[in-house]
Amino acid sequence: MSSREQQPPPAAERPLTPLELYSRLEKSNCGRCLLPGCLAFAAAVVAGTRKLADCPALSAEARAELSRALQPRSSSLTPLQADFIDRLEEKIASMDLAAVAPRIGASYSGGVLTINSLGKDFHIDSQGRMSSQCHIIPWVRAPLLSYVTNPTHRPPTGNWISFRELEGGIDWQGLFRSRCETPLRELADASPDLLSDLVELFSGRTVQLFAADINLVLLPLPHFPILISYQAPEDDLESKLTILFDECCGSNLHIKSAFTLCSGLVR
């Protein structure tokens, strides 16, 4: 990993993530906040479109405590991120988006490329500018543009492999485990309904592939399927959570962008 890459701050120095906030909620999915469930509410609070006061189940004391752990999430880019985005936009400006669309599982109309990510549509114009009805943050923006400009592409195969088996994955495996799999497993341990709620929030689906309590397939990008397999703790056995990737993922996205995408899901 490049020494120039900027590392995220420790948990104690950064605002709560949607999944961390969710773990502190009642998790009743009562709907009184007028959102589908507690996970959707947590995501909306972190994005700034809902307030903690919109949850009637939170006491004044709980709201005060959570407010101290929350702060507005900035959409501003670091200089390195901005430079990377600029280079991706320049690449897109030289591409025939109408020809690219069917190859990457996107659609094209009126000069705009539309890509679905986790159930949400993102639109990219001929200059690489991105728009969406939802909040656009760097961990979505950069991988999505990288996906469009990636020189190679394969359709999904239905064969699942580990992160380390992706091209370049060995060098990133330790960081992937500590930033993606381990925190998601800990959240799932604390909130048994979390992964089921992810199905609804991110337009996922459950499958029967491996011996586990839940196997969840998500589509962060049209041709970038990931599978989250979780086995809850039982007796003296610890829980186990593994994130697998379709074999095509290594051809469709650079390993750094794949890591950014997955860590962003957890964060």
Neighbours of 93 (CB within 10 A): 13
Residue with token string 């809902």 = 50
The crossing angle, in degrees rounded to 10, of helices 97-104 and 138-149 is 100
Cβ pair 260, 176 in contact under 8 A: no
What pTM did the predictor assign?
A: 0.81
Round to whole Å and give the CA distance between 117 and 6.
25
- The identity of residue 119, as a single letter, is G
| Section 87-113 average pLDDT | 97
Share of the chain above pLDDT 70, in %: 91
β partners of residue 237: 234
| Residue 92 clears pLDDT 80, i.e. is over it | yes
| Residue 162 clears pLDDT 70, i.e. is over it | yes
Give the residue extent of every domain in the chain. Answer: 11-69, 79-149, 160-250+258-266
Of the ranges 10-19, 177-186, 215-224, which one carries the lowest mean pLDDT score?
10-19
Least Cα distance to 199 among 207, 211, 191 occurs for 207
Mean of pLDDT over the chain: 88
pLDDT of residue 9: 42
Q: What is the pLDDT of residues 209-238, one digit of tens each?
A: 888 999 999 999 999 999 999 999 988 899
Q: What architecture (CATH level 2) is domain 11-69?
A: Orthogonal Bundle (1.10)
Reported as a pLDDT band with limits 50, 70 and 90, residue 72 is: low
Rounded to 5 degrees, φ, ψ at 66 are -70, -35
Q: What is the 3-state secondary structure (H, E, C) of 90-121?
A: HHHHCCCHHHHHHHHCCEEECCEEEEEECCEE
